[in-house]
Amino acid sequence: MSAENAITAHQLTKRFGDFTAVDAISFEVKKGEIFGFLGANGAGKTTAIRMLTGLNRPTGGEATVAGFDVYRQSEKIKENIGYMSQKFSLYEDLSIRQNIRFYGGIYGLRSNEIKEKTEQILTSLTLEAYADKIVGELPLGWKQRLAFAVANVHDPAIVFLDEPTGGVDPATRRRFWEMIYATANLGRTIFVTTHYMDEAEYCDRISIMVDGKIAALGSPGELKERFSATTMDEVFVSLARPK
């Protein structure tokens, strides 16, 4: 089973005092899949992601990420995943080259590997001429693509993207999704959250969290059919605000 699954969660639960933030969620993400993890603010997405990335210990249930157990092997999980958030997690006062070297080092790449990766990233993003430019001075779209490349620097099995496209212009947003597609085509698993409902359509499958539970899970086509909706926006609204 775990041979085809990048993530498995079974009855995964997190309680803070008497508040249940994540309420016994179960799902699987297949290897190479683009999995959209949606939900309203406060539905429990962030808490669930923190458990899956080994940052928070669950209160109950089971989960494995890249084949490792979230209770016992959280350090192994961190080594085998990439993570990128809306805030990009790059060091603004380091150059492009220094950021790549820093993250390569953090993930334990050897110096010749870091050198190789640096060239590879600079070429694929056509940033060769800007390698020594300070990241804080780069346009938002460049930073975003660089952050994605850096999150992939150690060839992780899974990349978690937490609202990666917030605030960027429509052309950059689309170029970014093409990077996601290309990466998924290499067999890497993508776990992504977004508030843009058109982006939900680009995912292979989607789960929608409501009040700590997974209220729906399926491909965009299946979900639209199940909720008699023409867009994912309608599906989302009918789930997040029932009545």
Partner 1 sequence: MNSSIKISNINHSFGEVQALKDISFEVAPGELFGLIGPDGAGKSTLFRILTTLLVPSSGNATVAGWDVKKDLKQIRRRVGYMPGRFSLYQDLTVEENLQFFATIFGTTIEEGYHLIEEIWVQIEPFRKRRAGKLSGGMKQKLALCCALIHQPEVLFLDEPTTGVDAVSRREFWDMLQRLKEHGITILVSTPYMDEAMRCERIALIQAGEILSIDTPQGIIGSYKKPLFAVRSKNFYQLLQDLRGYEGTERVEPFGEYLHLTTKAQVDSEVIETLMNNQGHQEIVVKPVEATIEDVFLDLM
Contact predicate 18/59, CB 8 Å: no
Please identify, using beta-carbon distances, which residue of 105 and 139 lies nearer to partner 1. Answer: 139
Contact predicate 215/44, CB 8 Å: no
Cα–Cα dist 109/74, whole Å: 19
Contact predicate 141/177, CB 8 Å: no
Please identify, using beta-carbon distances, which residue of 23 and 233 lies nearer to partner 1. Answer: 233
- Closest separation between CB of residue 220 and partner 1, Å? 6
- Closest separation between CB of residue 153 and partner 1, Å? 24
Tell me the residue length of the chain.
Answer: 243
- Closest separation between CB of residue 23 and partner 1, Å? 17
Q: Write the DSSP string, the chain.
A: -TTTEEEEEEEEEEEETTEEEEEEEEEEEETT-EEEEEE-TTSSHHHHHHHHTTSS--SEEEEEETTEETTT-HHHHHHHEEEEETT----TTSBHHHHHHHHHHHTT--HHHHHHHHHHHHHHTT-GGGTTSBGGGS-HHHHHHHHHHHHTTT--SEEEEESTTTT--HHHHHHHHHHHHHHHHTT-EEEEE-S-HHHHTTSSEEEEEETTEEEEEE-HHHHHHHTT-SSHHHHHHHHHS--
- Closest separation between CB of residue 159 and partner 1, Å? 17
- Closest separation between CB of residue 223 and partner 1, Å? 11
Please identify, using beta-carbon distances, which residue of 69 and 204 lies nearer to partner 1. Answer: 204
- Closest separation between CB of residue 197 and partner 1, Å? 5
Please identify, using beta-carbon distances, which residue of 113 and 234 lies nearer to partner 1. Answer: 234
Please identify, using beta-carbon distances, which residue of 92 and 169 lies nearer to partner 1. Answer: 169
- Closest separation between CB of residue 229 and partner 1, Å? 12
Site residues, partner 1 (CB under 8 A): 39-42, 86, 139-140, 163, 166-172, 174, 177-178, 181, 185, 195-202, 220-221, 231-233, 236-237, 240-241
Please identify, using beta-carbon distances, which residue of 11 and 181 lies nearer to partner 1. Answer: 181
Please identify, using beta-carbon distances, which residue of 61 and 220 lies nearer to partner 1. Answer: 220
